[in-house]
Amino acid sequence: MPKVDLYRNVHMGQRMRLFSLAAELGAADMAQPDAIAEQVHRVLAMTEELREHADTEDTFIHVLLRDRAPEAADALDAEHLRLDAAFAVLDDRARALPGTSAGQLREAQHELYLALNEVISAYLVHLYLEETVAMPALWQKASDDELAGIFSAFQASRTPEQAVTDLQKMLPALPPATRLAIARSVTNAAGEEYAGEMLLKISRTLSASQRSRLYADLGVSEAWALPEA
């Protein structure tokens, strides 16, 4: 039976969306209507999400980590402080962008792009530390039941809408077998009456090819999940 990994899937989703944000911000045509507001919103939404993610880890994972592997917890605490400072710089640059003159906009866009990439580079190190230091420490120091309990407690803390959003953010970044296992679990939990509706919701952010593969792996047609006319 696979080990309970509290970081892997959500981190894969974060990496995918951070890389996409950086590429799209760098290439954005700021002369288009609402382009500046859109990019600023996306950057600020991402830093807010990453802060909330850190709070979630502190609440559900790092309490146990501090008890069983305090050295690893101390290292993560230091990382969070460093990241908070980088987030603040990025937020300031994003909020300043709408007030930039047309002549300075190109350079300001690139400076925001560089600040975002600085955050990404620091955040990748943080993710790697959690995945290669914190998680192995928990595997060694905590039981499978304790780790499963953490995951269950987190799931119980989410509203149905938040749970769907979590999956929509994560599933496109996962390999087909992992995506299938998650989709099967959540549709089974939804019950026969709501399984199609749930599948439609969680597959909304998948590419056409990913969605077709998922439905094929589940053995259902894409029309099966659509609401009746």
Distances from the Cα of 107 to the Cα of 30, 100, 102, 114, 154, angstroms: 11, 10, 10, 10, 42
| pTM of the complete model | 0.93
pLDDT band with cut points at 50, 70 and 90 for residue 81: confident
pLDDT band with cut points at 50, 70 and 90 for residue 226: confident
Q: Backbone phi, then psi, for 28, in 5-degree steps?
A: -60, 140
Angle between the 144-157 and 35-60 helix axes, to the nearest 10 degrees? 140
pLDDT band with cut points at 50, 70 and 90 for residue 228: low
Q: For the domain covering 8-153, report its CATH number.
A: 1.20.120.520
The residue length of the chain stands at 229
199, burial (CB in 10 Å: exposed 0-12, middle 13-18, buried 19+): buried
Interatomic CA distance for residues 61 and 87, integer angstroms: 22
Q: Is residue 1's pLDDT more than 70? A: no
Q: Is residue 209's pLDDT more than 80? A: yes
Q: Is residue 229's pLDDT more than 60? A: no
CB atoms within 10 A of CB 30: 16
Interatomic CA distance for residues 39 and 21, integer angstroms: 9
The domain spans of the chain are: 8-153, 160-225
Interatomic CA distance for residues 202 and 187, integer angstroms: 10
Query: How does pLDDT run across 128-184, given as a tens digit for each residue?
Result: 999 999 999 999 999 999 999 999 999 999 999 999 999 999 999 999 999 999 999
Contact 14, 53 (CB under 8 A): yes
Tokens of 56: 């979630």
Give the distance, in angstroms, between the CA of residue 7 and the centroid of all CA atoms in the same chain.
10
CB atoms within 10 A of CB 13: 19
pLDDT band with cut points at 50, 70 and 90 for residue 78: confident
pLDDT band with cut points at 50, 70 and 90 for residue 222: confident
The pLDDT assigned to 2 comes to 76
pLDDT band with cut points at 50, 70 and 90 for residue 35: very high
- In a 13 Å sphere around the CA of 183, the CA atoms on its Cβ side amount to 31
Query: How does pLDDT run across 102-114, given as a tens digit for each residue?
Result: 999 999 999 999 9
Tokens of 45: 């939404």
Residue whose C-alpha is closest to residue 61's, from 144, 123, 135: 135
